[in-house]
Structure 1
Amino acid sequence: MALGTRFCVERVFAGVLLLGSLLVVSACGTSKEVEMSPAEARDALVSTIEKSAGQLQVDGWSRSHAPEVGNCGARRGERADYSYSYGAPAPDSDHEADARKIADYWRSLGMQVRLVESPDYVVYASGGPVAGLTFSTAPGNYFIAGESLCVPGDATELRKQDNS
């Protein structure tokens, strides 16, 4: 291999290593999972779902249950997340327009969104302030459900705190 070619290959390899290192450092430094407490993750989930419901002209929203804590991640007892759901009687309004409004709102939060149109309108989203959300226009009721980010915490201990 000629000296010039070898030098060029070494520079490219060094550049790839540097870029890879920067991506790892960048990913570690911006992870919401590392920076959030379980309470912050729970509150972000509840707030995002309830603010989503507020985007629609629909009365009668209520929660199905308090946010529920669960285990996530590879090792039980080290990481936790919350699930939460919110529902309302489906209005006689345009379900497609409501689904698109929710999809647009979730995109504004930096989420990746997918809209399913058949047999009923359902919106799925991930990223942003939560791990994932779903908005369904059927059967019978509007329903928003989601899961918080997976954060450091012991679900068993958090459950005890929530129940006291």
Structure 2
Amino acid sequence: MDPETAQRKMTELVDRTASELRGEWVTTQGPDYVDSCTLPDGGEGANWVYLITRTDEGGSPDNDAATVTSTWQSAGMTVERVADPDGPVVVGRGGASTALIDLYAFPGKYTLEAESLCFPGSADEIEEEQSSGS
């Protein structure tokens, strides 16, 4: 997996999910925020993190959680719905698009966060490259 493909696949899944849930989403972090991860062979890797939020009132958290569950399962992910007193939380893992994606469907505030697949590289070096503009 290369950095560009990892970022594109993650961004496409987040954007598709947000589009299905409708509403006005605001980017809080990413999709070019880089973090460290461990490659399958145990080596150092990097991944992208993308976080968007929606604060409008609208939609039904339970229905939206079911929609997201179906979307992510059809993308080949293992999906788990977690009970939370504030509202449904849906976590997706696996598949070809992301390492992890989750939706917090709380009334009045939705949060959608994804971590891309891990790719070879150093998060620190990528961050340095980004800040120096190269």
**Matched residues, number:** 126
Q: Give 4+ residue runs of structure 1 displaced > 4 Å after superposition.
A: none
Deviations 1:2-34 (A, max 9, x none): xxxxxxxxxxxxxxxxxxxxxxxxxxxxxxxxx
Please give the root-mean-square deviation of Cα atoms over the aligned residues, in Å: 1.7
Considering fraction of residues, name the structure with more helix.
Answer: 1
The structure whose RCO (Cα within 8 Å, separation 6+) is larger is 2
Structure 2 length as normaliser, TM-score? 0.85
Considering fraction of residues, name the structure with more strand.
Answer: 2
SS of residue matched to 1:93: coil
Map 1:1-164 onto structure 2 (within 5 A): 36-56=1-21, 58-67=22-31, 68-73=33-38, 74-75=42-43, 78-119=44-85, 120-128=87-95, 129-138=97-106, 140-163=108-131, 164=133
Choose 1 or 2 for highest CA Rg. 1
Alpha carbons of structure 1 residues 118 and 72: separation in structure 2 relative to 1, 3 Å: closer
**CA–CA distance in structure 2, aligned partners of residues 124 and 90 of structure 1:** 22
Instruction: Give 1:100's aligned amino acid.
Output: A
Structure 1 length as normaliser, TM-score? 0.70
